[in-house]
């Protein structure tokens, strides 16, 4: 008997003893946990959900308050409908898309939409929250850092030396002193008020 045959026999005996022959490896669940997820990951997970793969994304953010550590856990996926997370490969203009449909909390507007709304402007200074580093916002939504063009996320990941960062929570609009997340929420509320 080969080692493969012996291993297979032992495994089968174990499964039989635990009454798991019929249901072993029939239902897997994948759980992804991170401080944030990029659009491509959410799009892939949403597609897998729509194709009967049990996979979920959970955002886990640690906070330190007065010497105590707290965790904020937010379930991003699966939700219904998953179509909200699909990346639109044909239309590259978030500003156009935002005007065509109501914005839900799951499909938050990106920097190009904030520029189109006038919440931020080309040439505005964007600071890294709690740091001294600053960058200049460009018309295309990227930033100029010491003469080099980078995406907001790329720049902030370098500043904090993290593999992932919540871009809108850690990018501060210097003129207003508000994070991009705060500005976005204000303008979303304003847009919702005007549309109702």
Q: What percent of the chain has pLDDT over 90?
A: 34
Residues 134-186: tens digit of each pLDDT: 999 999 999 999 999 999 989 998 998 887 788 888 999 999 999 998 888 88
Contact between residue 98 and residue 84 where contact means Cβ atoms under 8 Å apart: no
* Third-level CATH fold of 94-195: SAND domain (3.10.390)
Residue ranges per domain, the chain? 3-85, 94-195
How confident is the model over 35-51, as pLDDT tens digits?
A: 888 888 999 998 888 88
CA distances from 37 to 59, 60, 80, 89 (A): 8, 11, 18, 18
Task: Give pLDDT, residue 85.
Answer: 61
Classify residue 170 by burial, with Cβ atoms within 10 Å: 0-12, 13-18, 19+.
buried
The pLDDT value recorded for residue 189 is: 77
Interacting residues of 156 by C-beta distance below 8 A, sequence separation 6+: 128, 162, 165, 167, 170, 171
User: Distance between CA 117 and CA 162 in Å, rounded?
Assistant: 30
Two tokens, residue 3 = 């080692």
| Whether pLDDT at 121 is above 90 | yes
> What pLDDT digit, counting tens, does each position of 85-116 carry?
666 665 555 444 444 444 444 567 789 888 98
């Amino acid at each position: 008997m080969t080692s493969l045959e012996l291993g297979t026999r032992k495994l089968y005996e174990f499964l039989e003893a635990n009454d798991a022959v019929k249901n072993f490896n029939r239902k897997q669940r994948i759980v992804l946990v991170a401080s944030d997820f990029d659009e491509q990951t959410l799009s892939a997970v949403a597609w897998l959900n729509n194709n009967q793969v049990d996979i979920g994304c959970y955002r886990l953010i640690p906070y330190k308050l007065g010497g105590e550590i707290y965790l904020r856990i937010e379930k991003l996926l699966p939700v219904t409908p998953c179509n909200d997370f699909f990346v639109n490969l044909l239309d590259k203009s978030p500003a156009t898309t935002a005007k065509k449909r109501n914005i839900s909390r799951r499909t938050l507007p990106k920097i190009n939409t904030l520029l189109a709304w006038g919440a931020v402007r080309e040439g505005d200074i964007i600071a890294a929250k709690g740091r001294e580093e600053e960058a200049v916002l460009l018309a295309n939504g990227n930033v100029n850092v010491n003469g080099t063009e980078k995406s907001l996320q790329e720049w902030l990941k370098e500043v904090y030396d993290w593999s992932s960062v919540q871009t809108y929570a850690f990018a501060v609009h210097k003129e207003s002193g508000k994070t991009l997340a705060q500005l976005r929420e204000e303008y979303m509320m304003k847009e919702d008020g005007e549309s109702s």
